[in-house]
Amino acid sequence: MYSSLADYETKVSGTRSTMEAHLNSSQQDTGIHARHISSVSTLDSELNDDYGNPIWKNRVESWKDKKDKKSKKKKDTPKVDKEAQIPPEQQMTGEYSSEAAEPLSTVVPLPPNRITPYRIVIIMRLIILALFFHYRVTNPVDSAYGLWFTSIICEIWFAFSWVLDQFPKWSPVNRITFTDRLSARFEREGEPSELAAVDFFVSTVDPLKEPPLITVNTVLSILAVDYPVDKVSCYVSDDGAAMLTFESLAETSEFARKWVPFCKNFSIEPRAPEFYFSQKIDYLKDKVQPSFVKERRAMKRVYEEFKVRMNALVAKAQKTPEEGWTMQDGTPWPGNNPRDHPGMIQVFLGHSGAYDIEGNELPRLVYVSREKRPGYPHHKKAGAENALVRVSAVLTNAPYILNLDCDHYVNNSQAIREAMCFLMDPQVGREVCYVQFPQRFDGIDRSDRYANRNTVFFDVNMKGLDGIQGPVYVGTGCCFNRQALYGYGPPSMPTLPKAASSSSCSWCGCCPSKKPSKDLSEAYRDAKREELDAAIFNLREIENYDEFERSMLISQTSFEKTFGLSSVFIESTLMENGGVAESSNPSTLIKEAIHVISCGYEEKTAWGKEIGWIYGSITEDILTGFKMHCRGWRSIYCMPLRPAFKGSAPINLSDRLHQVLRWALGSVEIFLSRHCPLWYGFAGGRLKLLQRMAYINTIVYPFTSLPLVAYCTLPAICLLTGKFIIPTLTNLASALFLGLFISIIATSVLELRWSGVRIEDLWRNEQFWVIGGVSAHLFAVFQGFLKMLAGIDTNFTVTTKSAEDTEFGELYLIKWTTLLIPPTTLLIVNMVGVVAGFSDALNKGYEAWGPLFGKVFFAFWVILHLYPFLKGLMGRQNRTPTIVILWSVLLASVFSLVWVKINPFVSKVDSSTLAQSCISIDC
């Protein structure tokens, strides 16, 4: 039941005890909203605009006083404190099994009989490409010089794109993890678990577009994960400040008391109830407990009742009251204005006092809605993720962070242990900034018409990157090292030389820098960051020091300018192994947590520039991973046999194109920013060449849309004009064309062989490369330049997540959008061209059929690649949308005009001949 707590301004002493009890209580009143905390957020954000203000000084002084008081206690037990600062993997020097001493993971390179032919074919294809372009350039088509020149430019760009995409796959690897060794090393019988703690981040914005039932299933799968409960905390970011999301989590916290023990008692997979109960498999397989059937039926009834309550909340939220939402105690909901509201935090479940129906503790569940005020930049998802970084650092401060989209649930309860096999390995983990899992999806039709699974990217490209410096960050299903998010470099990375980038290139060292000012500034920023790293790591080597001495030795000004004005948060950044400082009490933690999510907290700091999720693009994931790799970190790609996480994808054509448009627009924004991989991060040479090529490919691929549209238009022009872009083939030219086609096929076949990807997935990926290239990517390029030149910003639209029970119900939906115009036009003109070409050949005779086949093959290449798009336009097979009828009328009109223009079956009579025949007639 909702109830109101006293305001902070009037009852400070009372609320401190209330907050302390609130944080550690059993959370029986799960709907309580900390309204008094909101006023603290507003007050702090108004008074901490400038550095060095009295509030900050008071915070620092109070921090020092608490440290001074704690130092006396620490002198009594110096050995214990010193041991606590040692990472767990370094403490494990005692007696344990030989299995625990073995590596937690191993790299499995591809066998030579698979990778060697693959590399040979790549080199051969590169050589054939060079010979092919020599022939194309030295043999122009004089009768169609414009078409020939356009085709040459397009083909050169395609070859450049292929090089960027192909060579980062030079050394693909597979990895195997050993979770049993992880347990043997860090979970010894009779002792507390020494596994590292993990903070889960779940982000949501609009509960009407992202159904709460989907979000709560993700949360439930996290709470029920196979990991020590005291090591798991789940933070849900509600960036829309929706009361529906808040009430949904209140219901979820109650249902979790029954769902979590059920999952753990019977080893349920997956542990998201909606997806577990909807499985079409034998749920009795491998289940030996006699009580399982009874318990499952009872749990299914409980979940159905839970769904009814959730649906009732959604139905109630469809229409907002004029006076706004009110809580059950009559007070207005603080988030009634989603663009102007205070910060809100609610701890629904906690480690102490929150028990399930069997009396076991539950993981922590925290609702977070950061403060929003007009006039402040909020940076969309990246800003929300950074707010969660700070809140989690204050409340739990786990050394690792795993972020998920609201529609990506935990499909493998062992997923965290899989990641820890890399992050907690003493030999590997110190260099790893994050472990990326592949994205897998539910609810996609078997044919995967629009390549929603992205199988080629996740099973081919990402494996290739794992053999270089690591996969790129793809936005969800990623477990981070918190220290890497704070902008620190890896511990073993040497500091940059003072003149690292003042005179030479990072990869060859022989050419002078063209932009010394940018390189110097970049080197300066890196040097400042290295000074901070050096200070921290040098202090760790001092044997007799306490927290107070450390806080005095390190420059507070450097931390303030980097991390912001929160002493508690700054202290947490120094704790490499995580954990909440002993000097903090629960009331201070809640107060600081509200403070760090205020609007003005990030002003004049490095948030979004050097630390946290990086701002400047709607694809903040690419930027964030790129910055980490530039600092020298490497990442790991983890592909367990059972997919770690699964999500939902927009399977209808319109939503899929809008999703691709958003990704492409983010890449264009990065290309036009200072973080462009073409020139950023050369100082120090920490980013490997092939890794840089991969990042360049991620930001230039939308520009392929320009030559692709031109190349897809060429066949129709050739068929309508009777000209062609290729001259009459000689034996050498025929051999080059044949060799090029064979090398393309061989490369694809060998990729299929070492990656295990099906040929159907490869073909779907190729088709959607054309569909997305001539539509979404094209629009992204123009929108990106409009934003840069005219300042016209495009709104970020949340992809609608489906909660319907009908299988593939959205596949046949047609939502008309301007993105459909370019591919539809290309389809029409190529079909018209084919008809015109055959008509012209019938009129001219047998000699015209030879050149026709080359042109028609070219046109059919375009039509076959756009076939899924055409099928999507048709909608359901038993009914035709109105838009298709309109296009059919237009197509018929075009055919009629072309027919009249060409007039194929009537012999053309010369005008002079007609005049002579008229004169000879005797009238």
Is residue 380 within 8 Å of residue 351, measured between CB atoms?
A: no
What's the pLDDT at 79? 40
CATH number at residue 443: 3.90.550.10
**307 marked as binding residue:** no
Q: Within this chain, do residues 383 and 484 fall inside the same structural domain, yes or no?
A: yes
pLDDT tens-digit map of 102-130: 888 999 888 898 899 999 999 999 999 99
State the residue range of the domain holding 215.
192-490+607-649
Place of tokens 């760090």: 596
What's the CA gap between 261 and 255, in Å, rounded?
Answer: 11
What's the CA gap between 564 and 567, in Å, rounded?
Answer: 9
- 632, 649, 666 - which closes a domain: 649
Place of tokens 């749990």: 299
Is residue 470 within 8 Å of residue 634, measured between CB atoms?
A: yes
Q: Which two tokens stand for residue 479?
A: 């477990």
pLDDT tens-digit map of 62-92: 544 544 544 444 444 444 343 334 344 444 4
Is residue 203 within 8 Å of residue 385, measured between CB atoms?
A: yes
Place of tokens 């049993």: 180
**210 marked as binding residue:** yes
What's the pLDDT at 705? 93
**72 marked as binding residue:** no
Q: Output the CA–CA distances (angstroms, integers) from residue 754 to 508, 750, 765, in the order listed.
A: 32, 6, 17
What's the CA gap between 759 and 388, in Å, rounded?
Answer: 41
Q: Within this chain, do residues 363 and 223 fall inside the same structural domain, yes or no?
A: yes
919, part of any domain: no
Q: Within this chain, do residues 273 and 379 fall inside the same structural domain, yes or no?
A: yes
Place of tokens 């073909």: 763
136, part of any domain: no
Q: Within this chain, do residues 478 and 625 fall inside the same structural domain, yes or no?
A: yes
Count of CB atoms within 10 A of residue 901's CB?
10
Q: Within this chain, do residues 645 and 762 fall inside the same structural domain, yes or no?
A: no
Q: Within this chain, do residues 312 and 388 fall inside the same structural domain, yes or no?
A: yes
What's the pLDDT at 5? 27
Q: Within this chain, do residues 256 and 319 fall inside the same structural domain, yes or no?
A: yes
Q: Output the CA–CA distances (angstroms, integers) from residue 818 to 703, 823, 829, in the order listed.
A: 19, 10, 18
pLDDT tens-digit map of 351-394: 566 788 888 889 999 999 999 999 888 888 999 999 999 999 99
Place of tokens 């470099």: 489
pTM of the full structure: 0.80
Q: How many domains does the chain have?
A: 2
Ranges of the chain whose pLDDT falls below 50? 1-60, 63-64, 66-67, 69-96, 496-521, 523-525, 528, 531, 534-545, 550, 552-553, 796, 803-806, 877-880, 904-909, 913-915, 917-923
At how many degrees (to 10) do helices 620-630 and 653-671 cross? Answer: 40
The SS3 assignment for 345 reads strand
**371 marked as binding residue:** no
Q: Within this chain, do residues 637 and 696 fall inside the same structural domain, yes or no?
A: no
Q: Name 835's Cβ contacts closer than 8 Å, sequence gap at least 6.
A: 895, 898
Q: Which two tokens stand for residue 131?
A: 């010979």
Q: Output the CA–CA distances (angstroms, integers) from residue 445 to 548, 651, 761, 803, in the order listed.
A: 60, 8, 13, 16
43, part of any domain: no
Where helices occur in 376-513 by DSSP H, the ranges are 380-395, 415-423, 455-456, 462-466, 482-485
Is residue 810 within 8 Å of residue 649, measured between CB atoms?
A: no
What's the CA gap between 332 and 506, in Å, rounded?
Answer: 58
**405 marked as binding residue:** yes
Q: Within this chain, do residues 351 and 290 fall inside the same structural domain, yes or no?
A: yes
Q: Within this chain, do residues 789 and 706 fall inside the same structural domain, yes or no?
A: yes
Q: Within this chain, do residues 698 and 611 fall inside the same structural domain, yes or no?
A: no
What's the pLDDT at 510? 35
Q: Within this chain, do residues 387 and 454 fall inside the same structural domain, yes or no?
A: yes
180, part of any domain: no
- The catalytic site residues sit at 239, 621
Q: Output the CA–CA distances (angstroms, integers) from residue 882 to 822, 867, 873, 875, in the order listed.
A: 19, 19, 10, 10
What's the pLDDT at 298? 92
pLDDT tens-digit map of 604-636: 888 988 889 999 888 889 999 999 999 989 999
The H or E element containing residue 254 is: helix 243-266
The C-alpha R_g of the chain, in whole angstroms, comes to 31
What's the CA gap between 784 and 776, in Å, rounded?
Answer: 12
